[in-house]
Amino acid sequence: MTEWDGLTLLARWLIYISLSTAVGGAISLRFLRKQETILARLRLYTLVSLILGFFASLFYFFVRVGAFSETGLGGMFDPVMREVLWQSPVGDELLLRMLGLIILFGALLLTLPTNRSGRMGALEVLCLALGCLTLGASFARTGHTAQLDFFAAILLTLHVIIAAWWIGSIYPLWLVTHRLSRERARHVLENFGSLAIKAVVLLVLAGAVLLWRLTGGEGLLSTPYGFWLVCKGAMVALILVIASYHRYQLVPVLADDGSRRRLKKSLTLEKMVGWGIFGATTVLSTLVGPTH
């Protein structure tokens, strides 16, 4: 693995994390808009995530420029290669990503106290939907998924959005557990759990169909791609176990102080596993595509 491979992995991983927290934060602001005690923290979380997503996306683009230029770190700013990459799918990916981040920033502005009318609420939902769809679609522009047909691209977009929302919502749920009263926190967490069950079914189905479309089910146990898929699958299974533990063991008895502390620690563990899933996904999308 070259130094450019390492920088590409880092940049791509940062993109996954920052866009996930941006999506999770923006959606949480909509669903938790009545929880005044945590709205300021959620706005800050979303704003920081959007800024990190912006810089991570730019960093990834210039790393790709440097990798193609092959003239050292200074090659990241090679004007000729920069123009070439800007006209390529890598540039399309960056453009879509920036557009999605800007739209989500608009959704964030619409959550401010001065924008609480019904019309503004509808506009916020529209911005949320367009921003998430644009960010999700950006992942279908490059890599081994770029050749997928329209149906598969829709599945990929759906898969990305659900995964981003789930993992990006972990900190908002931690805030709910930490800042809200026990009864209110339990109500929010139960509602999230009910929604998450449906979302996970869609996530797994979309992922399974995409895997079949990419590989045909061949070579999954004898290739590097298969190895990293197994690693990702194991972490997904682990995060599902953790989420089930929250829903069926900790949330129903949240009035107990001990369960509240355990839930906060378990949410932190869930976030770490989620970042590990993003790490495996980064390797799969960057170094070891199905053709390897």
Note the pLDDT of residue 223. Answer: 76
Give the residue from 240, 241, 261, 260 showing the smallest Cα distance to 252: 260
Q: What is the mean pLDDT of the chain?
A: 86
Helix or strand holding residue 223 (H, E): none
d(CA 196, CA 111): 23
CA of 168: how far to CAs of 22, 49, 150, 212, 222, in Å? 7, 10, 26, 27, 33
d(CA 85, CA 132): 24
Q: What is the pLDDT of residues 28-74, one digit of tens each?
A: 998 998 888 899 999 999 999 999 999 999 999 999 999 888 777 88
Least confident of 41-50, 146-155, 156-165, 168-177: 146-155
Note the pLDDT of residue 216. Answer: 65
d(CA 1, CA 175): 39
Q: What is the pLDDT of residues 13-32, one digit of tens each?
A: 999 999 999 999 999 998 99
CB burial of residue 57 (10 Å; 0-12, 13-18, 19+): buried
Note the pLDDT of residue 193. Answer: 84
* Residue percentage of the chain with pLDDT more than 70: 89
Return the top range by mean pLDDT from 116-120, 146-150, 172-176. Answer: 172-176
Q: What is the DSSP string of the chain?
A: --HHHHHHHHHHHHHHHHHHHHHHHHHHHHHTTT-HHHHHHHHHHHHHHHHHHHHHHHHHHHHHHHHHH-S-GGGGG-HHHHHHHHTSHHHHHHHHHHHHHHHHHHHHHTTSTT--SHHHHHHHHHHHHHHHHHHHHHTTSSGGGTT--HHHHHHHHHHHHHHHHHHHTHHHHHHHHHHS-HHHHHHHHHHHHHHHHHHHHHHHHHHHHHHHHHHTT-SSSSSHHHHHHHHHHHHHHHHHHHHHHIIIIIGGGTTSHHHHHHHHHHHHHHHHHHHHHHHHHHHHHHT--TT-
CATH of the domain spanning 3-286: 1.20.1630
Structure tokens of 217?
């089910």
Work out the average pLDDT over 161-170. Answer: 93
Q: What is the pLDDT confidence band of residue 292, given thresholds at 50, 70 and 90?
A: very low
Say which residues have a Cβ less than 8 Å from residue 81's Cβ, sequence separation at least 6. 65, 68, 69, 75
Q: What is the pLDDT of residues 87-113, one digit of tens each?
A: 988 999 999 999 999 999 999 998 887
